[in-house]
Structure 1
Amino acid sequence: MASKLLLLGLLVKLLMLTDAQPVGVCNGRNGDNLPSEQDVVTLFQNKGISRMRIYDPLQPTLEALGGTNIELMIGVPNEALQMLTNQNAAKTWVNDNILRYPNVNFKYIAVGNEVDPNKESSQYVNFVLPAMQNIHNALKDVGLDGQIKVSTATYTGLLDNTSPPSGSVFKGNVQGFIEPIVKFLAENKLPMLANIYPYFGYLGDPNKNLQYALFTAQGTVVNDGSVQYSNLFDAMLDAHYVAQARVGGENVEIVVSESGWPSEGGEGATVDNAGTYYKNLIEHLKGTTGTPTKQGIRIETYLFAMFDENKKGPEETEKHFGIFSPDQQLKYDGLSFN
């Protein structure tokens, strides 16, 4: 009997691992030397990348995705948020960018990206939740609210006291902005999107523990009560979960909407480090069933980004997050996306 139970346990574990969430990749277009939209979609297919994030509802990209079954996270740019606080405008947006493309496999709508009361994007703070609600209602009106999930993309800059993760909170002047959003997501069983960058955590770490950021640390680096962390990605993600739980989002799943490492342009930004990060992140996502404090969940993650984008800035590193160079050559050996 014991041997049968052991065999069953091994089978369940094998099924869990083989059912690992496929990794998505963000398809930014902020460059003047990038492949055509059709070539990009073909590259996704050839490399077995089954999920894509885009930041604008670009017609050529949507047309190229038609019939491919690539799951899509489509973005509403921050500049469009105010317009979508009008319900009729939100219905028009859904009609023009969702319903017009019935052969595109839409999965998420990211309503705004990294809106922050403490940054230049503070001008959009009052528009995020109404725009999310209106887009969600427009989807509900056409029976798509169960298929396409509405959210917004946050980031670690909204948090305080993140190390150890158990102390994490949203910054004081962020709470009034984020708490109603979290409660809206909880009420409608929608996920939160979060951009998680151990690279920036590494830059802000006085100890500059590169191994902790690259998944190469040997053993525990951070003890947090009964919980141990051996990599910064899990610690940053759990910090988001902890902060979220404090404002009513204990059961709101987090989808990692961006994570990456630059290959040049700044401290620690090398081809070796970037290749190590992407490879180890993918392996971590395939082999894990959650974080130390959020067990039993798959960590759906979108790598940032598909290509180096030469028009990004102002920091030089922002031009060098690509997994592929603009000539469609993979920059790092050994990466497998499924």
Structure 2
Amino acid sequence: MDFPEFFCYVSILACLFPIMVNSIGINYGQIANNLPSPEDVVPLVKSIGATKVKLYDADPRVLKAFANTDVEFMVGLGNEYLDKMRDPTNAQAWVKENIQPHLPATKITSIFVGNEVLTLNDTSLSDCLLPAMQSVHAALLNFGLDKQVTVTTTHSLAILQTSYPPSAGAFREDLMDPLCETLNFHQKTGSPFLINAYPYFAYKGNLEQVPLDFVLFQPNQGVTDPQTHLHYDNMLYAQIDAVYSALASLGYKKLPVHISETGWPSKGDEDEAGATPENAEKYNGNLIKLMSGKTGTPMRPNSDLNIYIFALFNENMKPGPTSERNYGLFKPDGTPAYPLGITPNNVVGRNTTVGGGSFGNAVTNPYYPMSSSTGYMSISSARQQRYQLLGHVVLMVPLLIIKTLV
């Protein structure tokens, strides 16, 4: 496809996404050899109404291309850099080379240091996490950039030990010390708490127990939290509320929670049930529709949702199962990976009553055990290998709760 055709598609896409929300974000991965140039990605990002981009490194080509666009960037420092970033001198040099030159033209607002480190069971990494975060923050402070650029890290939902009901959400006891250290850092510096959440993996691992409509934001019976009496009719929002509860139980009730990754693959292997264009369209389309209503979760209805959809493009060089190469909203030539039109009749809206609940856009809980003794079920993915990072661990919700949904 030549550039005129590419931009023609961009214009069409702008019409296909009539309802957008200011807080929508997109993950811009680049593990591919056939992606358009960063300059050509700019109008594509704008066409879907995204105002935030999460980049897995600090690619200067991308940051330069998005200068003066008002698109906010979260840039990453991979796990392989944690040990090096413990040294304040190295952190200072990295910020000077990768962040300072792009400001203020490019709106870099956050740096995430490490990905899902605490659930990797690798003390060589977890011991480096907080010192690396502190060094990067200190470097920003030295350059006078700490007020505009925050420092954070991303977490897997496997940091939760209990998630049902959402009001009883609690973190794993074995992670409490390093987790509280990072939470104190967030509170002192004003940075958000980032979670990667993928209801797809819960569905893929529990086909007979997890209703598809429940994970796709489609009308369904849902569940009610017996403690708060809040109704949940989708999994993602309950996951978020479980995290809110876990934070509140430790005294961090006001700490903002952002979903740094969530998405649905449009293609998968034979054993990857649910990875279809139709389901991907429903998940991402319904999620965008819900976000456009500027509604929060049942527990935090007035809190702004900051969600980064994974991902902008299908990436042909990612290892692992077929699904890992098919999370993109778009193919590398800029055409939609599946129909991107969003229609009102396939979305649960703010005033829609589902299953007798008071929140039509409510969420379900992550699939975690009631206690650590019930164990976890690991759902591996190639994303665990990306940037030498381990990723998705899906936990099981009690079977009794699932039965109320079917």
Fold in common (TM above 0.5): yes
Counterpart of 1:165 in structure 2 is 166
* Superposition pairs of residues 66-81 of structure 1, within 5 angstroms: 66-81=67-82
- Paired residue type of 2:66: L
1:111 aligns with: 113
Q: Distance in 2 between matches of 1:283 and 1:87?
A: 43
In structure 1, the partner of 2:375 is: none
Residue equivalent to 2:253:
250
Q: What amino acid sits opposite 1:109 in the alignment?
A: I
Structure 1 residue 55: Cα displacement: 0.3
Change (3 A) 1:131 1:155: same
| Alignment-mate amino acid for residue 305 of structure 2 | I
Unaligned runs of 5+ in 1: 1-17
Paired residue for 1:238, among 237, 241, 244? 241
Instruction: Please state how far the C-alpha of 1:234 moved relative to its aligned partner.
Output: 0.4
Alpha-carbon RMSD: 1.9
Give SS of 2:117's match: coil
**Greater alpha carbon shift after TM alignment, 182-191 vs 317-326:** 182-191
Distance change >3 Å, CA 164–CA 313, structure 1 → 2? farther
Aligned to 1:211: 213
Give distance in 2, aligned partners of 1:118 and 1:40.
Answer: 33
Q: Which runs of 4+ in 1 moved over 6 A?
A: none
Partner of 2:186: 185
Amino acid at match of 1:137: A
Give, in angstroms, the shift of residue 249 of structure 1: 2.1
Map Cα deviations across residues 121-142 of structure 1 (whole Å, 9 max, x no partner).
Answer: 5531111111111111211222
Aligned with 2:251: secondary structure?
A: coil
1:182/1:247 contact within 8 Å kept = no
Structure 2 match to 1:287: 293
Counterpart amino acid of residue 73 in structure 1: M
Matched residue, 1:150: 151
Q: CA deviation at 1:291?
A: 1.0
CA contact (8 A) 1:161 1:168 kept: yes
Partner of 1:10: none
Which residue type is aligned with residue 100 of structure 2? L
Return the offset for 1:175. 1.5
Q: Is residue 298 of structure 1 aligned with residue 304 of structure 2?
A: yes
In the alignment, the residues of structure 2 paired with residue 100 and residue 239 of structure 1 have an alpha-carbon distance, to the nearest angstrom, of 39
State whether structure 2 residue 264 is matched by structure 1 residue 261.
Answer: yes
- Give me the whole-angstrom Cα distance separating, in 2, the residues matched to 1:20 and 1:304: 16
Q: Which residue of 2 aligns with 1:14?
A: none
Scaled by the length of structure 2, what TM-score is found?
0.74
* Contact 2:166–2:225 (8 Å) recurs in 1: no
Cα displacement (A) at 1:204 = 4.1
- d(CA) in 2 for partners of 1:253, 1:228: 22
Q: Percent identity?
A: 34
Q: How does 1:1-338 map to 2 (within 5 A)?
A: 20-102=21-103, 103-119=105-121, 122-205=123-206, 207-225=209-227, 226-265=229-268, 266-335=272-341
Range that drifts further, 155-164 or 232-241? 155-164
What residue is the counterpart of 2:401 in the other structure? none
* Partner in structure 2 of residue 8 of structure 1: none
- Describe the SS at the equivalent of 2:320: coil
Deviations 1:160-198 (A, max 9, x none): 221222222222222222111011111222211111211
Question: Deviation digits for residues 2-24 of structure 1, max 9, x if unmatched?
Answer: xxxxxxxxxxxxxxxx9943311
Shift of 1:56: 0.8
CA contact (8 A) 2:119 2:156 kept: no
Aligned equivalents of 1:153, 1:278: Cα separation in 2:
21
Deviations 1:266-317 (A, max 9, x none): 1111100000000000011111431111231110111100011122232321
CA contact (8 A) 2:203 2:212 kept: yes
CA contact (8 A) 1:117 1:173 kept: no
Opposite residue 220 of structure 1, the aligned amino acid is G
Distance 1:281 1:19, change over 3 A: closer
Name the structure 2 match of 1:5: none
Partner deviation per Cα, 1:76-124 (whole Å, 9 max, x = no partner): 11111111111111111111111111211111111111113445x5531
**Counterpart residue identity of residue 238, structure 1:** D
- Cα deviation digits, residues 197-251 of structure 1 (max 9, x gap): 1112323446121111000033433434222111111001111112222333221
Report the Cα offset of residue 318 of structure 1: 1.1
Q: Distance in 1 between matches of 2:144 and 2:26?
A: 28
Calculate the TM-score normalised by the size of structure 1. Answer: 0.88
- 2: CA distance, partners of 1:122 / 1:28: 27
Give the direction of change, closer, same or farther, for the CA distance of 1:19–1:46 in structure 2 (3 Å limit): closer
Change (3 A) 1:255 1:328: same
- In 2: Cα distance, 1:141 partner to 1:112 partner: 21
Asked whether the equivalents of residues 115 and 154 of structure 1 are also in contact (C-alpha less than 8 Å), the reply is yes
CA distance in 2 between counterparts of 1:267 and 1:122 reads 34
Q: Distance in 1 between matches of 2:187 and 2:341?
A: 35
